[in-house]
Each structure stands twice: as structure tokens, then as C-alpha cells.
Copies of this chain bind each other. A is one copy, B any other.
Amino acid sequence: MKFTIKNSLFTAIVSELHKISSNKSLLPILSGIKIEARKDGVVLVGGNAELFIKKKFPLHINGETVVEVHEEGSVVVLSKHFVTLLKKLPDDIEISSDDMQSVLIKSGDIVTRLNGLRAADYPTLPEIKVLHSIEVNLTSLKEVIKQTIFAVSKSEEKPALTGVKMEFDNNKLICTATDSHRLSHREIQISYTEDSHSVIVPSKSLIELLQLKESSLATVHITIAKNMILFSTENTILYSVLIEGNYPNTQSLIPTDFATRITMNTKTLIAGIDRACVFSEEWKHNNVHLTIIDNTILKITTNSAGIGAIEEQQRISMVEGNTDVNMTFDGRFLLDALKGIQEEQVTISFYGVMKPAVITPEIETSYVQLISPVRS
């Protein structure tokens, strides 16, 4: 194997793959990156037992030659030192390997040799038997994931809740995440007319999908197979396992018929809740009290016996229903939910004592955040 490549491009991709390569696996080869030089470009694969990413460098990008393949072949390089070294090398590098898996990286008078491993020993990516295939704009997909992923459960007790449920139904993609204390729900329009279908995708895989550096106009093809989901763009494929098991029916959790509904300026409210979270590390639950006073003011307060108190008042833009609200929430949950809202105004609906509150953008109903109150 022998090829020359622009180091700046190459290092960026190797760094991405290094982050997901497993260094705790029983299979040492998984802490490596597979490099394959082919007539039509160089292909890199890195991953761990649940997630693989395959990246292709075509010979030319926007008419500029970025790779020249002098000899086909493949090898596996342990990623840790490979990344560190690449970052310290000039832009033009030549990478080659011999029959002994010795990998030479040359740049001018700088000659580096790393011990490699046999490419044949690297796990073979599974053959895909496609069940469903969907096309989505990558930027929209990332946004939907960002708006829901924070609500997944951090506990492994109920494995299904550690992932995001992605439901493809009647020209809609519906993402849902919940840890049973809060729920995040987001829908977008897509072109999908096949049978309704849903999968649970591990949040770790979606975090990597969010990291993918691609053009904002890129289209991602979602391919669903048995136990597996693939997200493919022009030069990248992300393979992820699916979480097996049943996802709870969350639609029934979202209440109807609010007792009180208020509309506030989103940014101002985020800043206020953020300040109220200053003492959060002192508490298991970061208790933030919300009280409506004088029918027009939302009072946000926190108290920490030993340290002090924070109190601020914000004007409510609009209030509906009764104004008898005096509830306590986990401030970080409020903050996570509010940060997903891009609209200028946010609506919070209350349903009575000890019932969850629902946060949505004003008017918009395709984004719903449900938060249970804290028993205080």
C-alpha cells in the first residue's frame, strides 16, 4: 500500500475516527483505524462494538487532487500515536505499508515508522439487508436529534430509554426521548410513504452523527436493517446497532386541558433559569421555584440554606387560565428544554399541583417538552 495525501484533511478524519475507536475492548485491533488504498481513493474505518464510521477520500475534491494512490493495499494503525504524530507533520505526507505491517509515514526528511496490524484481522462490516430507506436533509436531522437527545436516560436500568426513538410515519419523522422524569418530542416533515416503522437508536451513535462535518445542504440516507441503522452521506457511512426492546407509549403522557398557560421571552427566561442554577451542584435536584405574582410577573427563586438565595422577576407576555402557579422544577431540566427553542417566545403550560408542565415554542406544536415537577 502506498499513497500521498493532504495531511490537513487526513488528520481531521483520523481524529474523528480515533475518538470512537475503542481502547478498552478485548479486541486490541478495535483501537486501530483500518486504512485501505484503492484505485478510486482511500477509505478509513474506525469504531467500536456498537458503532463504526467509514470515511472515503475520493481522488479529487472540488477539482483539486487530494489523494494519489501509488499502490493498492490495506493495513490497521493504532490510532493514538498516529493522530498525535500526524498533527505534528507538514501538509504533504506519503503513507505506505509493507508485508510486515510496518507503516511508514514520510514527509520530506522526516521518516516515521509505526507498527501496524493486519487489515484482514479487522472486523468485516456487516452486509446490509435493507428493510427501509429514507432520505433527510442532514442539518434538519441534526437539529431534531439535538432537540431530543438530552432527555435520554443516563441509567442503564431500562435500556430502551438510553436511546432516542425514531419513528417514520406518514411523511413525518418523530423523535422521542425520555428518562421518565422528562420527555422530549419533536416532529419534522420528510418524504416517507412506506409502512410506519420505528427504531431505538443509541444516544452514543447519535452524538457521533451530530459531530459529522458535512455541508449543511448534505442529504443523509437512513437505511434500516435488522438490528442496525446506517446513516450515509456522499463519503461517509455511520453504522450503528439498534437498541432492542419496547419503547413506552409516550403520546398518552402529554396532557391536554391546561390550567394555566404563560408565554414569555425565550432568551430572557433562559438567562434567568441559568442564574437560578448557580447553586445546582449543592443539590441532588436543582430546585427552582416558579411563582406567578400579580398575574403578570413570573418570579424565579432558588435557595440554598448555607449559601444564599437568588430571586428575579420577569414579565409574562401573555397568560391564560388561572394564575395560581407555585411549583418547583429541576432547573437543569428547564434549561435543557428551553435551549431547544429557537422561537422568540416560549409557552409553558401548567396542569395543576404535581402534574408535569409542558414547554413548547409559541403556537408551534411539533416540538414538545414535558417536565415533571419536584416534590418539595
Residues of A within 8 A of B (CB): 78, 81, 84-85, 88-89, 103, 109-115, 271-272, 274-275, 278-279, 306-314
Having A81-B308, A113-B310, A114-B308, one finds 10 other A-B pairs with CB under 8 Å, namely: A81-B279, A81-B307, A84-B278, A85-B275, A85-B310, A110-B275, A110-B310, A110-B311, A112-B310, A113-B308
Q: List 28 A-B contacts (CB under 8 A).
A: A78-B307, A81-B278, A81-B279, A81-B307, A81-B308, A85-B275, A85-B310, A88-B271, A88-B274, A88-B275, A88-B278, A89-B275, A103-B308, A109-B314, A110-B272, A110-B310, A110-B312, A111-B310, A111-B311, A111-B312, A112-B308, A112-B310, A113-B309, A113-B310, A114-B307, A114-B308, A115-B306, A115-B308
Among A103, A110, A114, A306, chain B packs the most CB atoms within 10 A around the CB of: A110
Please, which residues of chain B bring their CB within 8 A of the CB of A278? 81, 84-85, 88
Chain B positions within 8 Å of A312 at CB level: 109-111
- A111: B residues at CB distance < 8 A: 310-312
Q: How far is the CB of A274 from chain B (nearest CB, A)?
A: 6
In Å, the complex CA distance between A278 and B110 comes to 13
Query: A307 — which chain B residues lie within 8 A by C-beta?
Result: 78, 81, 114-115
Q: A81-B279, A279-B81 are in contact. Are A309 and B88 (CB under 8 A)?
A: no
Q: How many copies does the complex hold?
A: 2
A269 → chain B closest CB, angstroms = 13
Chain B residues closer than 8 Å to A81, beta-carbon distance:
278-279, 307-308
A183 to chain B, nearest CB (A): 28
Q: In the complex, which of the residues A112, A274, A279 has the most CB atoms of chain B within 10 Å of its own CB atom? A: A112
